[in-house]
Amino acid sequence: MSEWQTYAERRWAGKRVQRLEDPAMLTGATRYVTDIALPRMLELAFVRSHAPNARIVSIDLESPLAVEGVHAVLGPADLADVQPTVDIVHLDAALKTPRFTLPGDRVRYVGEPVAAVLARDRYAAEDGADAVTVELEPLDDAEPIHDDIPDGRYFHQMATHGEVDAAFARAAHTIRRRLHAQRVVTAPMETCGIVADYDAATGELTCYLSTQQPHLARAALAAAVGLPVSDVRIICPAMGGGFGGKEVVLPEYLCAAVAAIRLHRPVRWVEDRSEALTAGAHGKETEAELEAALDADGRILAMRSRFLSDTGAYSSGIGAYVEFMVGAFTVPGLYDLGGYAYDTGGVVTHKAPISPFRGVGMTTSQTLREVLLDDAARTLGVDRMELRRRNMVADGPWRTVLGEEYEPGSWRTAFERALELIDYEGFLVHQAAAREHKARPPRLLGIGVSPFVEAAGIGSAGGAGGLPGGSHDNATVAIDLSGHITVALPTFSHGQGHRTTAAQLVADMFGVAPEDVRVIDGDTARTPFGMGTFGSRSGVFIAGTVNAAGVRVRDKLLRVAEILLEAAHEDLELVDGAVGVRGVPDRRIRLAALAGAAHFAPHVRAELGDPTLTATAFFDPPRPTHSNGTIAATVEVDPDTGAVAIERIVVVEDCGTMVNPMIVEGQIRGGVAQGIGLALLERYVYDESGQPQTTTLAEYLVPRATDLPPIEIEHIETPSENGTGGIKGMAEGPASATPAALACAVLDAIAPYGDEIDALPLRPETIAHALAGAGR
């Protein structure tokens, strides 16, 4: 455990401090990218393909210029200098699909941008876009989407760990399940957007960009448009949700940047909801299969998995790999497997490219595995929880069959506690009574339980087999001449309250109040390099980098105080914005005075060496953190309509030491809500000809307030051994375990009538169909 030193007591960390971000958000003052308007700004609208697979014969770029309000039109030729986007994975076996900003030769999915119109406002830009005629010649679907990838399979990896074939050979039972994890859309309330502003006088490009990774976006944009990185600035004042979909650098951003550079006017593109649903951040679509070999007592001897993700038309973003890689790697979970073999990969198809989406890979592996375990229990005639107990690892550190080292957690404790809270035994009695035909018709009640573990805060040593995403994170802590503390973060909040949690940590370090700490994120000019926010990493990296930098600043501060107060280090205390001598109330110096002395008092400066009370520090955890928990859900299924009502959802969560339990609970609730959407409501549909069918929020069903039950939460705190301050990354575990628990619960509810459902979401129609098949 790294040193987490505070002189003051833990006054703020661990408390439900109300968020500093909130007043601005509540009064409508917070500005998101779409709210930024610059003088002389042009608005950008795209012309998008109506066909999923066609050769571009011609694009009429002249007609729109005659439309009132249109200023310019960009076609593929105008963007030929822009470097194509290629994924940044280091996997030898990966076949690349470089993506040009505007494809000149062919379109590969409905909604692919083919031309851009710039106008005085979005109304005129869309008028201009309507005037662009794109002549397309449909291509044969048998033709490869990318010439270099004849069968569309751009990546395939197989591996075997431990004893697998022999285990299956001697197994008393072999259980097999498959799962079609549906295509979904991240659908944050704020769609994507960019305002690109090029200063011709200085050659600097500033982009207001709704992005989860400002520094990475900066590097990618700079490389694409041919500018030095230091001439590019990314600013995001606030982001209205990301969930993974704003990790990628979209060709639309590149288009806006190039337009700004060429036209010498700011350019804004705001993705409208129609674009977002048609061609925006899709996620998750994967065909998965799982087999388990069990002995006569229900001990799992080995498992085999297959994952094949439908990545969409390009594999040039990180989303093209994480889904099936993380899916394959997270199958073992909290279960002790003697052997595990996986076969995983992705194909390109005529659909929108997928992005990472919260619970990436895990929603699929978790759901499939827990459903299989329930199936196994039924086959063996063993209670479903008892089967889990026979296979779950004991609380404490664990090395998985894949060689992953889990730090200590409360795996079993959380599981048993969740069963207590949901009253599992009592529910079984209740369920049995409801199934008897005393009530006409019988009530279909079901219960599902899913323990989960989530690795987060992965350092550069621990990247998942060639995938980027390790740590290159730094934070800067500084005390200015007014004695005010600022902290610049490597992460970027899109609703997770980083401003508040970071302020709580810094407040404790320096004996001030959180509202006295200025937290800066989302601006590449004001923050050191960081990898941004994704994969539940922020808690770990904020704590780690801020601690590393803050300790250095605090040490300097105390050194100044030692000199000025002529006191020993161990007699000093940081309280209420000043440093004082313990027990001597009138010997105190305020931070401003200490900062002034550091800068301007020659004798102090000579001692310090560096007169600025600032430090930038890097943090790279040698090992990731592992949070865990269990989600239990009870449901009732309407036997006529197949509609699912969720009765209760219980979450037991252990994310180590919590900085702000209120924020942790918010993440849990939000993750559970998305899990409910995934399990029961959300699906993105293409018809056989590649045309999207779910292009508005009336067809794509994001959970509403009336869809969600109250969510009961209880915490366990097993401090992390790897995360500074005992903090573990969290927020994707609940999102992954919720569809697993709900799938198990629904299948349990209809178990007397069969359980052949193998696709998400569990729509009323699908459930009704299963019931009808059994004669209900």
Partner 1 sequence: MKPCAFEYLAPETLEEAIAALGEYGDEASVLAGGQSLVPMMNLRIAAPAKLIDIMRIPGLRAIRRDDGWTELGAGVRMAQAERDGTSPLLTAALRHVGHAAIRNAGTVCGSVAHADPAAEVPAVLLALDGEVVLDSVRGRRVVAADDFFRSYFTTAREPDELVVAIRLPASQRRVAFLEVTPRLGGSTGEFATVAVAATADLDADHRRFARVSLAFAGVAQRAIRARDAETLLAGAEPTPDVIAAAAERAAAAVDPPADVHAHPDYRRRLIMALTRRALEELASP
Partner 2 sequence: MTAISVTVNGVAHEQDVPPRLLLADLLRDRLGLTGTKIGCAMGACGACTVLLDGEPVRACLMFAVQADGRSVRTVEDLAAPDGGLDPLQAALQAHHGLQCGYCTPGMLMAITPLLDSGRPLDAETVREAIAGNLCRCTGYETIVEAVVEASRP
Q: Which residues bind partner 1 (CB under 8 A)?
A: 122-123, 126-127, 130, 272-274, 636, 638, 640-646, 676, 680-681, 685, 693-694, 696-699, 701, 704, 706-708, 763-765, 768-769, 772
Q: Which does 236 bind (CB under 5 to 8 A by kind): partner 2, partner 1, none?
A: none
Task: Please say whether the beta carbons of 584 and 546 come within 8 A.
Answer: no
Q: Which one, 239 or 632, has the nearer CB to partner 2? A: 239
DSSP output for 699-749: TS----GGG---EEEEEE----SSSGGGB---SSHHHHHHHHHHHHHHHHH
Instruction: Give Cα 671 distance to the centre of its chain.
Output: 10
Site residues (vs partner 2, CB under 8 A): 18-19, 21-32, 34-35, 37, 121, 123, 187-191, 238-241, 243, 272-274, 494-497, 662-663, 665-666, 669-670, 672-674, 696-698, 702, 704-706, 708, 710-711
- Nearer to partner 1 by C-beta: 37 or 606? 37
Among partner 2, partner 1, none, what does residue 772 contact (CB within 5–8 Å per kind)? Answer: partner 1
- Cis status of the peptide bond prior to 441, with omega within 30 of 0: yes
Q: How far is the CB of 423 from partner 1 (least distance, A)?
A: 20
How is residue 185 written in tokens? 């859309």
379 binds, among partner 1, partner 2, none (CB under 5 to 8 A by kind): none
Residue 571: DSSP 8-state = G
Q: Which is nearer to partner 1, 77 or 772 (CB)?
A: 772
Residue type present at position 86: V
End-to-end CA distance of the chain: 58
Q: Which residues pair with 629 in a beta bridge?
A: 452, 653
Tell me the three state secondary structure of residue 208.
Answer: strand
Q: Which does 549 bind (CB under 5 to 8 A by kind): partner 2, partner 1, none?
A: none
The listed partner (partner 1, partner 2, none) that binds 240, CB under 5 to 8 Å by sort, is partner 2
Beta carbon nearer to partner 1, 143 or 699:
699
Indicate the residue type of 377. A
For residue 705, the minimal CB distance to partner 2 (Å) is: 4
**Cα separation of 238 and 32, whole Å?**
5
Q: How far is the CB of 125 from partner 2 (least distance, A)?
A: 13
Residue 435 beta carbon to partner 1: minimum distance, rounded to whole angstroms: 20
Q: Please report how close the Cβ of residue 23 comes to partner 2 at its closest, in angstroms.
A: 6
List Cβ neighbours of 151 (8 Å cut-off, separation of 6 or more): 144, 347
Residue 89: contacted member of partner 2, partner 1, none (CB under 5 to 8 Å, by partner type): none
Q: Which of residues 136 and 239 has its CB atom nearest to partner 2 in the complex?
A: 239
Name 517's bridge partners: 485
Which of partner 1, partner 2, none has residue 188 at its interface (CB below 5 to 8 Å by kind)?
partner 2
Query: Binds 673, which of partner 1, partner 2, none (CB < 5 to 8 A, cut-off by type)?
Result: partner 2
Of 190 and 375, nearer to partner 2 (C-beta) is 190
Taking the complex as a whole, the smallest distance from the CB of residue 124 to partner 1 amounts, in Å, to 9
Partner whose binding site includes residue 776, from partner 1, partner 2, none (CB under 5 to 8 Å by kind): none
Residue-wise burial string across 101-114, b where 16 or more C-beta atoms lie within 10 A, e elsewhere? bbbeebbbbbbbbb
Q: CA nearest 242: which of 35, 496, 467, 34?
A: 496
118 versus 663: smaller Cβ distance to partner 1: 118
Question: Least separation, in Å, of the C-beta of 427 and partner 1?
Answer: 18
Which of 170, 704 has the CB closer to partner 1? 704
Please, what sign has the CA dihedral across residues 214, 219, 222, 224?
A: negative
Measured from the CB atom, the residue of 271 and 287 that comes closer to partner 2 is: 271
Q: Residue 544 has which token pair?
A: 């780690």
The DSSP secondary structure of 283-343, one letter per residue, reads E--EEEEEEEEE-TT--EEEEEEEEEEEEES---STHHHHHHHHHHHTSSTTB--SEEEEE
Are the CB atoms for 766 and 642 separated by under 8 Å?
A: yes
Smallest gap from Cβ 485 to partner 1, in A, equals 44
- 670's contact among partner 1, partner 2, none, with CB below 5 to 8 A by partner kind, is partner 2
Nearer of residues 25 and 772 to partner 1, judged by Cβ: 772
